Chains A and B, each alone.
Chain A
């Protein structure tokens, strides 16, 4: 019984990062109608995957990233596979630099994110333009990149306690 409880506790904690990211993908699709959201929604999933890849990589398998990307593409009707590929690339790149980011002050992490986000915007712009067969106007994408960068610290404040909860053992 004790074993079972322990197992359940571990599973629920372990599922926090992926669950939170899935919820953010849904939340991004809700009709909030805040003026800033009308034109662009921040790239919630990119923030989440960037954060979890650095701090809780063992709780975020590549399969989950793929699934989240496909879900977002299906909900938002963006070219199917586009978000999945972009998120996988983000996770791969960040995973390779994880040892650099671990234990660094937040400003360094934010700086790292500010390098990733424009690349995400550029890649999405190229893929969506190719899939739609027309140049997608770049301005809204630039706005999305900037908005996401500015909101990143707020989301880190939200992710941090969740990350502690998701740790394998209390830290």
Chain B
């Protein structure tokens, strides 16, 4: 009896080790196959990813609230510490803003008059959806966030995403109830922009650092620190003149941009459904405009 048991053990252990090694090799091969598949069939992988994320979104939606609460707790503490300073700053800003308000009202009126005189076709400032950030992949490889609005709310791939500070990025993938936003700092982000003052058109490229840069700056371009950068609207995906950031440093071949968006405080974002004027037939545009009211 004892001998029999011993023999079984001797046979069983190498068998198990072999099975384990074989399983390990199979799984490693499966991982490599997945990588090749995601290169060969990005559409399929995207569909799977969107499906999985849509399924687990309730978990994120539930837990992201306490996480945000903890984060805002830190903010609050910071606020209490500097309440006096901030008060003074705000009073100062308020005085400045009142002046600007008067100027803006006057300019708005003037613009309206000019538009009427010139019969300018109005730009469609179309629908928008506001969504909460429920996940932040935050890895060193990719800069993206997930929001709790998807195709069922009218979010589509390619739409521009902003918050109250400025441009955040664009919609990369849209599921039914969630959408993945590619932040403008991501390595794969390319946004057509224009320098507000010199009107030089260029592309804002991310490099996974907090400071994206202006690529393809024309040789005679006049970028200098402090210049405002806004979207140019080229390509038709983004509305023109969305605030992006400020040129923070200019090198020989690149200008670094400090985005207006404060990434630590990215909690709610707005997805813009922008329709380029004149691309849709008049009737459909009217229909769309009608449905928005």
Contacts and interface: CB of A to CB of B under 8 A. Distances in A.
A29 B60 contact: yes
Contacts of B138: 28-29, 37-41
B68 A88 contact: no
Given A30-B135, A77-B142, A136 B32 contact: no
Contacts, number: 162
Contacts of B139: 40-41, 76, 78, 144
A75 B45 CA distance: 12
Interface string B153-174: 0000000000000000000110
Contacts of B38: 79-81, 131
A113 B68 CA distance: 31
Interface string B22-61: 0110011011111101110000010011001100100110
B141 A78 contact: yes
A109 B140 CA distance: 25
Contacts of A85: 28, 31-32, 35
Interface residues of A, number: 50
A139 B74 contact: no
Contacts of A77: 49, 137, 142, 144, 172-173, 180
A108 to B, nearest CB: 25
B124 interface: no
A78 B143 CA distance: 10
Interface stretch (B4-12, B92-100, B206-214): B206-214
A31 B68 contact: yes
A5 interface: no
Nearest to B52: A74
A65 to B, nearest CB: 8
B137 A29 contact: yes
A140 interface: yes
Q: Is the interface of A mostly helix, strand, loop or mixed?
A: helix
B208 A92 contact: no
B152 interface: no
A30 to B, nearest CB: 4
A134 B145 CA distance: 21
Nearest to B39: A131
B31 A69 contact: yes
B268 to A, nearest CB: 11
A80 B34 contact: yes
Nearest to B70: A32
Contact of A80 (B23, B45, B67, B263): B45
Contact of A30 (B64, B74, B267): B64
Interface string A122-136: 001001100110101
Given A74-B49, A80-B34, A127-B35, A63 B27 contact: yes
A78 B74 CA distance: 30
B141 A136 contact: yes
A47 interface: no
Interface in A124-170: 124, 127-128, 131-132, 134, 136-137, 139-141, 143-144
Interface of A: 26-35, 37-41, 62-63, 65-66, 69-71, 73-82, 84-85, 88-89, 92, 124, 127-128, 131-132, 134, 136-137, 139-141, 143-144
Leading 9 A-B pairs by shortest Cβ distance: A81-B34, A140-B140, A76-B137, A85-B31, A81-B35, A80-B38, A84-B31, A33-B71, A31-B136
26 contacts: A26-B59, A31-B64, A31-B68, A31-B133, A31-B134, A33-B68, A33-B136, A33-B267, A34-B71, A41-B139, A62-B20, A70-B31, A74-B48, A74-B49, A74-B53, A76-B141, A77-B144, A77-B172, A77-B180, A78-B139, A81-B32, A84-B31, A85-B32, A88-B27, A92-B24, A136-B208
